[in-house]
Structure 1
Amino acid sequence: MTKDVEQPQERFEDMPILDELKNSYLNYAMSVIVARALPDARDGLKPSQRRILVAMNDLNLGPRSSHRKCAKIVGDTSGNYHPHGDQATYGTLVRLGQDWNMRYTLVDPQGNFGSIDADPPAAMRYTEARMAAPAMEMLQDLNYETVDFIPNYDETRMEPVVLPSRFPNLLVNGSTGIAVGMATNIPPHNLKEICDALLLVINDPKCGFKDIMKVLPGPDFPTGGIICGKKGIVDAYTTGRGHLKVRAKTEVETDKRGRQRIVVTEIPYTVVKTSIVSKIAECVHSGTIPEISDVRDESDRHGLRIVVELKKDADPEIVLNKLYRYTSLQTTFAIANIALVNNQPETLNIREMLQCFIDHRRNVIRRRSRFLLRRCRNRAHILEGLILAVTDIDEIIDIIKKSPDAPTAKLNLMNKPLRLAEVATLHKLLPAEFVKAKSQGDHFLTGPQADAILTMQLQRLTGLEIEKLAKEYAGLVEQIEGYEAILSNESVLLDIIREDLHEMKEKHGDRRRTQIAGAVETLDIEDLIADEDVIVTVSHIGYIKRMPTDTYRRQGRGGRGIIGSDTKEGDFIKHLFIASTHDYLLVFTNRGKCYWLRVYDVPAMSRQSKGRSIANLLNLGSQQIASIIAVSSFEDEEGSPERQLVMATQNGVVKKTRLSAYGNPRSNGVIAINLDPNDALIGVAQTTGGNHIILGTRDGMTIRFDEQEVRSMGRASRGVRGINLRGGDTVVGMVIVEEKSALFTVCENGYGKRTGIENYKAQSRGGLGLKNIKTSDRNGKVVALKAVQSEDDLMLITANGMIIRTGLDEIRSIGRNTQGVRLINLKEGDKLVAAEKIAAEDLEDEAEGEGSS
């Protein structure tokens, strides 16, 4: 019968499941934080990266060795140190050799290691690698007991906890990693600047962040680019966290055809190049950036080059702003300087990161010095015995010959009293203290010294070899004194660190790649819109749109015109004016309210389109638009006269208010003027305080008066009487008198006239006025008054949507009380409803545009 095997005793313990889950998760989280995701603050490596370098060091894959298959490196790493999947290990190895990810690569690759286009690397059986020079600096002195070693995963060998790292890897190459509940994202830096910062901290331990930033201005990415502003850098350096706005480096070129193109030569860090090209193409196809005609990638082995071809007359600055907003040519790099300090994750500022490396190097040099001091002392101890023995070599040989075996010979040697012989050569070569000590009294060999004598070769008995022993001993004495000085004198130790840093600068330093420029504001939509003049039209029932000013060609007086808008049945264009796309639109309604709108918010549409309902842009309700004023800003320039808004109502009331009072309207509008129940606002104009005002009525009456007669009032006031109306007449227009201008009057039947302003004598405000035009059956009632120059053009709009553009130089100036001339041939049942001038400077801009085309 087989003997029953004793079963182990099972133990059950009751505990809350929430506590067990919490403790287990915390243990898992700490394991991920310490053993996988976060770098050590001393050497800047994660365990996987460190183990790869150690495995390559075991294979002697230095910068001067031959490349070895990556499969071999990965296999040794996984088998000896890192018991995880080979694909994860290979991915880590590949990244250490990618110069667009690492500022200073630690692996020298051979073969396809991927590309900045996110192309995957070739399989590890095809690629080869060896360590780059900076990696060798990190492994230097590893065998001198400079760092602690722990057993590997199966306890078959030892692996270092951290590398000695003469190379400041964490600071120059940075790190990125996602742990449980935290993530690190440390940017790379320039080695020369980091070395200068380390030297500064060593030389001046009390230096501040401002002092450090003088030698270390900011991160230096391997892909170059431009860091916009220093605030994010200051935040990251002082607190360990910050956000950098990084832009691509671009330049504008002009091709042989005279067309401009934007060339991208450097891109932000961690951005995939192909994603930029595809995103630009997507923006072009979707109409987001219509100014681009073509985009192509011309990158080659000489460098990165993305070419963005622009259409004719496209503004490169506007296109660049759009590219920054809609593509990854501008990105935000979030800095989180989290690293392991004593196996605990900490958020470090730049001073703490520099100090961590200095402290690590101080500890490494101390441990190396102790190791070398111990080795030198042991060797010197052996040499002391050899030197004593060779001075009395005949008796030493006799003792060995007469001894029956090696142990006895060792004991006999140890019992033999020895004294340094009076040899002049030895006394000259050996240190004086040694000669003095060993020349007096008897000295006995120790066990190690006796063993060394027993193993000594006969050739060491020659005179030349004896001198070599003496010289070696003298050299060891000097080394021992040097190591003792390092361990006892802090300044000597710091001198070694300084010397190492200067050597790093000379061997591996290079120029800065990333430019640090001034801060840029957050891109507003205004930065994405070209600053150009456009025509804005608003229809009677509230459809608004904007069009280029060259949409309508200039025609002769009396022409038929072209269709200016595909209006709905019963609708017609009521307002038309010229404004810049960056202007503000103050929209005044017939009920005396003011709304705020940007010109670029007005939809850009073709000449034939009807536009978009203004109800989608402004909350007007049942109100109708009385006037729209375009202004570039609300604040007056220093030294310039204060700008005013003058308003007129159909009942002849006028009011003047400062423009700045309308600079902060609400979404539901603000009160512009208090109106009587039966009154309505018909016009608003901008003045500078010293102008004359002309009011024109439907029945052809006008009055001219100085605006000084209208005092400036508050925004919600009523106003004063401007003209005394008779027989149910109403005011249809208001004009601000300009120097050398003329008053152009338009009647509903297509007739009008131009009369010099000097024909309208100034009167007192509130009078009956003078006759301006005969409102006969031929002319019809007055619909518009405009102050014009002979160089201006005129836009005429009919109720059926017909528009004609004509030059005023074709219309001669005639007297005040006349009927005028035909301006447009109207179709039966159609009438003129509005008129708008195009100023001479706008015509000059158009002429330049036609000439360049």
Structure 2
Amino acid sequence: MSSDAPDPDAPDEVADRVKNVRVDEEMEQSYIDYAMSVIAGRALPDVRDGLKPVHRRILYAMHEAGVSSGSSHRKSSNIVGDTMGDYHPHGDSAIYDALVRMAQDFSMRYPLVDGQGNFGSVDGDPAAAMRYTEARMASIAEELLTDIEKDTVDFQSNYDDRLTEPEVLPSAFPNLLVNGSSGIAVGMSTNVPPHNLGEVIDATVHLIDNPDCTVVDLMDYVKGPDFPTAGNIVGRSDVKQAYQTGRGRVRVRAEYHVEEGDSSDSIVITELPYQQNKSKLVERIADDVRDGDLDGVRDLRDESDRNGIRIVVELKRNANTDVVENHLLESHLERTFGVINLALVDGQPKVLTLKEMLEEYVAHRKEVVRRRSEHDLAEAEDRAHILEGRLKALEQADDVVETIQNAEDRDDAKEALKDDFGFTQAQADHIVRMQLGSLTSMEAAEIESEYEEVTDRIERLEEILGSEEELLSVIKEELRDIKEEYADERRTSFIEDTGTVTDEDLIPEEDVVVVLSESDYIKRVPADTFDAQHRGGKGIIGTDLKDEDRVSAVFTASTHDYLLCFTNQGQVYRLKVHQVPEMSRTARGTSAVNILDLDDGEEISAVVTADDLDFESDDEYLTMATRHGYVKRTTVGEFENIRSTGIIAISLEDGDELADVEVTDGSHDVVLGSEHGMAIRFDETDVRAMGRNARGVRGMDLEGDDKVAGLAPVEPDDERTLLTVTEYGYGKRTPLSEYRKQSRNGKGLVDIKTGERNGSVVSLDTVSDDDNLVAMSEAGQIIRLPVDEVSTVGRNTKGVKVMDVEDGDEVAAVSVYRPSESDEDEASEE
């Protein structure tokens, strides 16, 4: 009785095929295999022909199908299908994308495909579907395939072993440099910029003649990348580094110019940096204008057409053209091209210098020309052998004809010719096939002429193969022919790198008066707009206010100043003075919402120039005083980074406000002045340094409804005077020596008599005789006068009239500044 149970001793074929391996080792090896497959088989170009496999296969498929520059265009879908079916089994979209890029004149410096139909645009528009477009090889692409049938390059089996494909193309010109390449592999990437064909060929010829030349020598010929979209390369040092090391960052700037109009200027962009999307560029500029990051633009138009790019940025009447231009350069019109000259050398990725790239190409061409010459020599020798037989047959024509006639068949005739006349097998085969018409004297003369030509050719080919100098001369001659046929003028220009230009560099430095109203209108006016007057005058109109609007702050600064603006609510904001629109003194101003993000009821109470602050120092402080008499010091380093929405400068108790802020260094005294005319002087070190969120300590003991009006720092042995100005336009100067030092949190001494005539104190400043003061009323009247016009008197006096303020109006703010030398010169001339 038989049993179906398996024999336990029988070998297990499945188990025998199972191998025990370590997972980490298997994963590592598998990933390495995958990475090398991507590196060598897809993502990186070969240094010899500058092509990735997909591009090489597309061109070879077109070559095999006869889709040359002289043929009619072929449907792109047909080309993609042939490429995918025979050589590149990786999907039609990848093949078509590569085909499209080779046809785009804004992507490739010298397109390798002549496309017909929609192949995309510089706006980022995609190409039409492959069933709608047609293509053929461009004439210059055929130069990459020239002599490929003459055993010039090695072939390999295609993916299914049905066909063979070239491992590399003969490449009659250095395509890697000429058209560049970009790609991302596993753990590495390449980004070779395109170059001018004529320059690259000149450099190659120079390298052949001077193998010991340097990269700098080659740069006499290859000036730098030459992008299809033109543009300008900023500086040459980055290009030099990229050529010498194989890596670098090249700054490419758009080409533009300024067109002056009757009422305003326009900035017109005519060339873009390489690979910049034009429509997205226009969108980003429009976004900056809408968000308030780019002031002064009235209109933005894209007027580009088939004749070229033209983007018009039309400016407002009062816009500073240089500032708008600088913003466009910083944010939109300049890009960095990261050069990574990574290519496959003998199947391995390598970063190459300019010289190494050309050396690898020359070595490739030497191999191509050598193999082509050997192939041509073999063909020429075969032809010469045949012609020798024909000439010998012509010399004995009668005997040869008779021998053939007497033969039973062709094979007997061939054997008889070999035996009787000494012909070789090849010669005998050819003679038997000869027609009687070829025995004429004219035909004989043509054979002799051809034989001479063939022997001359054999001598030349042997000379080329026997001498490297002659072989190199052939390479140079063919390169020069390519240059003559296809080279064109350089498109990308060079401009000098002037370094980073800030907006301040483009704006004349001058003293200005900045005016801010309660309704958040802001403007700046040149300080010299307001002629210096004698004290006691009414001044002139400084701003046009809306109904019920009033001036909330006025301060003087330079157009190059970077200011810290402190508000009554304890916040601090950053302000660049040049960003405040310049307007006439009678203008209302512009909305401050895009310049200072102030809340309702928030007003600027103090301004500090940040340009001179040392944010790294631990011995420099911002000393603050509040209306309720609190004082605190905070190191300036805590104010280095200020958000656009502001940061907290001081914490305030309910109902308190920040009154004033000054810069001190630990060696100053501090004078606090109150609205009721009291003043106290104490050592700033009586107030310990504390953080931004702190409230501070008591600095002055205020009586009743009195509030702090201002803070003034006093240096040791200070010879300046203390300027006090009241709300009804009265003021005085008093020597600082009259204010004795006390402990903080005292009531202080009488500084100025307030009351019905003077009103409350508005401002307190330490001044020198050379200073000017600018006082502005809530109604918008403004006066500028030299400080020395204000009398120097003792404490506890009423002072003199500084500004004639009308009934119902009062002084809103006072700012002190020292005029620049140019202003003083102009004043003296007047």
TM-score, with length taken from structure 1: 0.72
Taking a change above 3 Å as real, the CA distance of residues 404 and 244 of structure 1, as seen in their structure-2 partners, is same
How far apart are the structure 2 equivalents of 1:400 and 1:789?
A: 126
1:351 equivalent in structure 2: 355
Please say if 1:134 is aligned against 2:115.
no
Q: How does 1:112-261 map to 2 (within 5 A)?
A: 112-255=118-261, 257-261=262-266
> Which structure 2 residue ranges, 5 or more long, are not aligned?
1-10, 532-536, 567-571, 582-588, 600-604, 615-619, 626-634, 641-661, 680-708, 716-720, 741-750
State the 1:71 CA deviation: 2.2
1:806 alignment partner, one of 776, 783, 786:
783
State the partner residue of 2:106. 100
One-letter code aligned to 1:680 = V
Mapped pair 1:836 → 2:815: yes
CA positional deviation for 1:535: 3.8
Counterpart of 2:538?
A: 557
Could you tell me whether the CA contact under 8 Å between 2:172 and 2:478 is conserved in 1?
yes
User: 2:252 touches 2:335 (CA, 8 Å); kept in 1?
Assistant: yes
How far is the alpha carbon of 1:68 from its aligned partner? 2.0
1:781 Cα deviation from its structure 2 partner: 9.1
| Cα distance in 2 between the residues matched to 1:608 and 1:352 | 58
Give the distance between the partners of 1:523 and 1:84, measured in 2 at CA.
49
Change (3 A) 1:237 1:565: farther
The AA in structure 2 aligned to 1:471 is: S
Cα separation, 2, equivalents of 1:315 and 1:559: 27
1:349 partner amino acid = T
Task: Report how far residue 562 of structure 1 moved.
Answer: 7.8
How far apart are 1:613 and its partner, in Å? 8.5
Matched residue type, 1:258: S
Q: 1:141 to 1:88 in 2, by over 3 A?
A: same
Change (3 A) 1:249 1:633: farther
| Alpha-carbon distance in structure 2 between the residues aligned to 1:603 and 1:293 | 17
From 67, 70, 74, the counterpart of 1:64: 70
* Corresponding residue for residue 489 of structure 1: 467
Deviation at 1:325, TM superposition (A): 3.1
How far, CA to CA, are the matches of 1:745 and 1:671 in structure 2? 18
**Which piece of structure 1 moves more, 552-561 or 30-39?**
552-561
Deviations 1:26-73 (A, max 9, x none): 222211111211111111111111111112222322222222222222
Helix, strand or coil at the partner of 1:309: strand
Whether contact under 8 Å (1:62, 1:136) holds in the other structure is yes
Q: Conserved in 1, the CA contact under 8 Å of 2:670 and 2:714?
A: no
- Does residue 502 in structure 1 map to residue 480 in structure 2? yes
> For residues 346-405 of structure 1, what are the alpha-carbon distances to aligned partners after superposition, in whole Å with 9 as ceiling and x for unaligned?
111111111111111111100000000011111111111221122112222222222222
Residue 454 of structure 1 is matched in structure 2 by: 432
Is the partner of 2:56 in helix, strand or coil? helix
| Cα distance change of structure 1 residues 378 and 802 upon mapping to structure 2, 3 Å threshold | same
Q: How far off is 1:126 after superposition?
A: 2.2
Look up the match of 1:548. Answer: 524
Corresponding position of 2:94: 88
CA contact (8 A) 1:111 1:126 kept: yes
Q: Is the 8 A contact 1:773 1:819 kept in 2?
A: yes
**Equivalent in 369, 372, 375 of residue 373 of structure 2:** 369
Residue of structure 2 equivalent to 1:721: none
Equivalent residues of 2:521, 2:592 under 8 A apart: no
Kindly provide the amino acid, as one letter, of the partner of residue 333 in structure 1.
F
Report 1:216-365 matches (<5 A): 216-255=222-261, 257-327=262-332, 329-365=333-369
Checking the alignment, whether the CA contact within 8 Å between 2:521 and 2:591 is kept in structure 1 is: no
Q: Distance in 2 between matches of 1:825 and 1:819?
A: 15
Decide whether aligned partners of structure 1 residues 475 and 563 sit closer, same or farther in structure 2, where only a CA change above 3 A counts.
Answer: closer
The residue that corresponds to 1:469 in the other structure is 447
Q: 2:117 aligns with which of 101, 111, 116?
A: 111
Q: Which residue of 1 aligns with 2:403?
A: 399
- Alignment CA distance shift 1:552-1:281 (3 Å): farther
Count of residues in correspondence between the two structures: 706
The alpha-carbon distance between structure 1 residues 841 and 546, as it changes in their structure 2 partners (threshold 3 A), is: farther
What residue is the counterpart of 1:695 in the other structure? Answer: none
Q: Find the counterpart in structure 2 of residue 378 from structure 1.
A: 382
Deviates more, 1:819-828 or 1:212-221: 819-828
Q: By how many angstroms is 1:250 displaced? A: 0.9
Alignment CA distance shift 1:825-1:841 (3 Å): same
CA deviation after TM superposition for structure 1 residue 87, in Å:
2.5
The one-letter amino acid of 1:835's match is V
Amino acid at match of 1:347: V
Equivalent position SS for 2:219: helix
Q: Deviations over 1:746-801 (max 9, x none)?
A: 6426244899xxxx9xx9x97999xx9999974579866767899x883246xxx6
Q: Does the 8 Å contact 2:514/2:525 carry over to 1? A: no
Residue among 25, 33, 52 paired with 1:27: 33
Please state whether the residue corresponding to 2:368 is helix, strand or coil: helix
Aligned to 1:680: 670
Deviation at 1:141, TM superposition (A): 0.8
Q: Is the 8 A contact 2:509 2:560 kept in 1?
A: yes
Change (3 A) 1:138 1:30: same
SS at match of 1:549: strand
Identify if the C-alpha distance between structure 1 residues 375 and 819 changes in structure 2 by more than 3 Å, giving closer, same or farther.
closer
Per-residue CA deviations over 1:486-537 (Å, capped at 9, x if unaligned) read 0111111111111112112211111111112222535667579896755458
* TM-score of the two chains, using structure 2 as the length reference: 0.73
* Maintained 8 Å contact 2:194/2:226: yes
- Is the 2:515–2:551 Cα contact (8 Å) retained in structure 1? no
State which drifts further: 472-481 or 551-560. Answer: 551-560
Preserved contact between residue 373 and residue 461 of structure 2 (Cα < 8 Å): yes
Report the CA distance between 1:125 and its aligned residue. Answer: 2.4
Q: After TM superposition, list the pairs within 5 Å mapping 1:426-825 onto structure 2.
A: 444-522=422-500, 534-535=512-513, 547-549=523-525, 557=538, 576-583=554-561, 599-600=576-577, 628=608, 666-667=637-638, 672-675=664-667, 679-680=669-670, 747-748=725-726, 750-752=728-730, 778-779=757-758, 794-796=774-776, 804-806=781-783, 820-821=800-801, 823-825=803-805
In structure 2, how many angstroms separate the alpha carbons of the residues matched to 1:281 and 1:579?
31
Asked if the contact 1:773–1:816 (Cα under 8 Å) also holds between the matched residues in 2, the reply is no
Cα pair 1:746 1:835 within 8 Å, conserved: no
Cα distance, 1:127 vs. partner? 1.7
Stretch moving more, 33-42 or 780-789: 780-789
Task: Name the SS of the counterpart of 2:132 in structure 1.
Answer: coil
Whole-angstrom distance in 1 between the partners of 2:198 and 2:30: 45
Q: Is the 8 A contact 1:103 1:189 kept in 2?
A: yes
Residues of 2 paired with 1:843 and 1:804: CA distance? 25
Structure 2 distance, partners of 1:105, 1:88, is 18
Distance change in 2, residues 1:479/1:288 (3 Å): same
For 1:119 and 1:668, how far apart are their aligned partners in 2? 47
Structure 1 unaligned residues grouped into runs of 5+: 1-6, 418-443, 589-594, 615-623, 635-644, 651-663, 684-697, 701-729, 737-742, 848-853
Whether the aligned pair in 1 keeps the contact of 2:528 and 2:823 (CA below 8 Å) is: no
- How far is 1:212 from its partner? 1.1
From the superposition, tell whether residues 733 and 370 of structure 1 become closer, same or farther in structure 2 (CA, over 3 Å).
Answer: closer
- Over 3 Å counting, the alpha-carbon distance change for 1:26 and 1:385 in structure 2 is same
SS of the residue corresponding to residue 416 of structure 1 reads: helix
User: How far apart are residue 201 of structure 1 and its match?
Assistant: 0.7
Distance 1:411 1:553, change over 3 A: closer
**Cα gap change, 1:524/1:749 in structure 2, threshold over 3 Å: closer, same or farther?**
closer
Find the residue that maps to 2:275 and give its secondary structure. Answer: coil
Alpha-carbon distance between aligned partners in 2 of 1:77 and 1:26, rounded to the nearest angstrom = 28
| Deviation string, structure 1 residues 193-241 (Cα, Å, up to 9, x no partner) | 1011111111111111111112111100000111112232122111111
Per-residue Cα deviation, 1:706-729 (whole angstroms, up to 9, x for no partner): xxxxxxxxxxxxxxxxxxxxxxxx
